[in-house]
Structure formats: structure tokens, C-alpha cells
Amino acid sequence: MKTPDPIRVVIYGLGQIGLETAIVILGRRDLQLVGVIDNDPAKLQRDVADLAGMKRPSGVRVSNRPDDVLGITRPDVVILATGSRFKSILPQLKECVNARTNVVSSCEELLLPHVRYAAQTRELDKLARERDVSVLGTGVNPGFAMDTMALAATSPCLDVTSIAIERVVDASSRRENLQKKVGAGMTTAQFRRGVKKEELGHVGLLESMHLVAEGLGWKLDKVDEKIKPVISKKRVRTPHVTVQSGQVAGIHHVCKGFKNRKEVLSLDLQMYVGAKKPSDRIAIQGRPDVNVVFEHGIAGDEATVAMLVATVPAMKKLEPGVRSMIDVPVPHYRSGVL
């Protein structure tokens, strides 16, 4: 059988996730990096391999002109890693869709954008159908650990009455950006102000819960969301921050969903520096009960890159429109190493 042509990929946004994704794609023979977009003047015209600390030049240089890159390289898929909020990435999504390119993005709210932005999502969905391309949000969380994986774990069930999902992440091992997002090193007062301003917290937990509910065919009649600080009991140092005893170590973020006044979904996320026992647990009550444990948890930043790369081959086959992880074939690692 003839080897299929590699899938042509553009990376839009060269933060840590984008850069690590570039490294993975440059090492694959089934995927071809054909362009990179970023608006940071310090990165402009630099070879992406150079920025990634790789020895061999890739020949792909950073551009700050999305239309040029998309028009000239005609990618099959854009991997968009520029922001967590749907509204902030919406203009970029439209650029890609208008250029008739499929988009997969680590934008947390894009996991299920209609949860917060029904009208804009309908509009984007319409545009994507017209342009015959699909748009998908994914990542490790949201995108896998607390939603797709929980849905997959219900496969053996003839009935499901409730699901409780718990994730504990040691933020010490994560990127600087994430440690800041969970408020590590803040006072409790600073933390509360940050939560109020929506600068702190885990974006996407609500979307994860709705994705699970949508997959199960459940209509939730009440949703409850709480973000509390985890207070450090000792001094913890990471390469990026020092947390004193009594300061905020991170977040405890809980979403609960109710159906007929009963709690049927619970997503409980703790992300803080110094968490001793990272783990992921999914407890399904049903027929039969199913209890899944990821011992030592599911790693964070690498896994988001892995999910972005794993969904790229599916993008060309999805029905056009704004899609979700419910529509995607079982994601998995695939060897395509050079």
C-alpha cells in the first residue's frame, strides 16, 4: 500500500504548548509542519526549530501574518494554541475557517463553546459548515482526564446513575503559566480577588461537566461551581515560585450537576504545588459500577500536546461544523516517528 501524504499542519501560537507541539510534529513523518504563526516580535522570522532548541533547522519561520501563511501553505489542519477563552480566540478561529482550514485548539472554552457562548457558537458552526471544515477543542483537561475518559469508562454500563470524577495535580511539575493560574504564592485575599476577576481558576471544568452530560444524554437542571484556595501547610519551592506556609498553594475547583434535584455529576479538581499524591479517579454508579484509577495521575502539559497531535488525523474526517470530543474516534498515541 502507498504511504499516504503527510497531513499539512500550521501551528498558530508559539507559547509553551505551541512550541512543544512543533517539536513533536517536526519529529513525525505522517505530519508535516508547513507554517508557524505568532505575533511576538522577538520570534518573528526565527526558525521554529531554533526557537525550540533543536539543532537542525526546520526551514519553517515564524510569521505574524495569518492570512499569508494560511493562503500560501494551504494546511489541512491548524493547531491553535493562543488562549483559554473562546472570545479571545474567536477572530483567529474565523481567519482559519475562512481560509477553509480545519482547526483543533487547546482553548479550554472551545471544548463545548455553546455552554457560555451559544449565539457565537451557532454563528461559527454555520461558517464552518459553509466552508466545509471542522473546529474542535481538546487537551488533557478539559479534553480527556475529566470528560472524554469518564465517558469512555461508561462503555460497559447498561445504566449510569451518577459519576464522580476526582483529579489531583501537583502544580509544581507544571508550566509557570499554570502555577500562576492556580494562585500559587498568593495570600487568601489576593486569591479571592483573582477568582472574582476571573484571572484565577481552572478554565474548562464547567465545559467538561457539560460534555459528560451531553454524551450521556442527560439534561442538567442545576449546576453548582465553587473555587476555593488550597492553603499550604509548609514552604514549597518550585522553579517558578516560592509558597510560604499559610499562603495559597493552588486551587480546589468543584463543579456539580443536578438532574431531577439529585446530584448526578461531580467534578472535583485540586491543582496545587506540593500535592503529594497526584491521581485521577472516575467512580461510576450504575449497572454495573465502574471504578477507574489512573495511578500517579495523568500528566499535564505533555498530555495536552499529545491530545492535540492525536486528534489531527481525525480532523479531515469529521462532519463539518463546531464538533466536540464526543464526535471524535477514540483518541490514542500513534507512532509516526521519523
Dist. CA 200–CA 69, nearest whole Å:
34
The least distance separating a copy of itself from the CB of residue 239, rounded to whole angstroms, comes to 19
Dist. CA 328–CA 325, nearest whole Å:
5
The least distance separating a copy of itself from the CB of residue 153, rounded to whole angstroms, comes to 8
Query: DSSP secondary structure string, 136-189?
Result: EE--STTTTTTTHHHHHHTTT-SEEEEEEEEEEEEGGGS-HHHHHHTTTT--HH
In angstroms, the Cα distances linking 131 to 69, 98, 125, 170, 258 are: 18, 7, 10, 42, 38
Binding to a copy of itself in span 220-239, by CB under 8 A:
none
Options 126-134, 138-146, 196-204, 242-250: segment touching a copy of itself (CB under 8 A): 138-146
Identify whether the C-beta of residue 96 lies closer than 8 Å to the C-beta of residue 12.
yes
**Contact pick of 164, 227, 243, 306 for a copy of itself (by CB under 8 A):** 306
Residues 59-98, one symbol each (x = binds a copy of itself by CB under 8 A, - = not), give ----------------------------------------
**Contact pick of 215, 231, 258, 285 for a copy of itself (by CB under 8 A):** 215
The least distance separating a copy of itself from the CB of residue 17, rounded to whole angstroms, comes to 12
**Contact status: 290 vs a copy of itself (CB under 8 A):** yes
Pick between residue 130 and residue 302 the one whose CB is nearest to a copy of itself: 302
Torsion of CA 299, 300, 304, 306, to 10 degrees: -20
**Contact status: 327 vs a copy of itself (CB under 8 A):** yes
Name residue 136's beta-bridge partners: 104
Identify whether the C-beta of residue 249 lies closer than 8 Å to the C-beta of residue 230.
yes
Contact partners, residue 193, CB within 8 Å, separation at least 6: none
**Contact status: 117 vs a copy of itself (CB under 8 A):** no
The least distance separating a copy of itself from the CB of residue 92, rounded to whole angstroms, comes to 25
What is the sign, positive or negative, of the torsion defined by CA atoms of 118, 265, 259, 219?
positive
**Contact pick of 65, 222, 234, 296 for a copy of itself (by CB under 8 A):** 296
Binding to a copy of itself in span 149-188, by CB under 8 A:
149, 151-152, 154-160
Cis ω for the linkage preceding 288 (within 30 of 0): yes
User: Which residues make up the interface to a copy of itself (CB under 8 A)?
Assistant: 24, 30, 140, 144-145, 148-149, 151-152, 154-160, 215-218, 286-296, 298-299, 302-303, 305-307, 309-310, 317, 319, 325-337
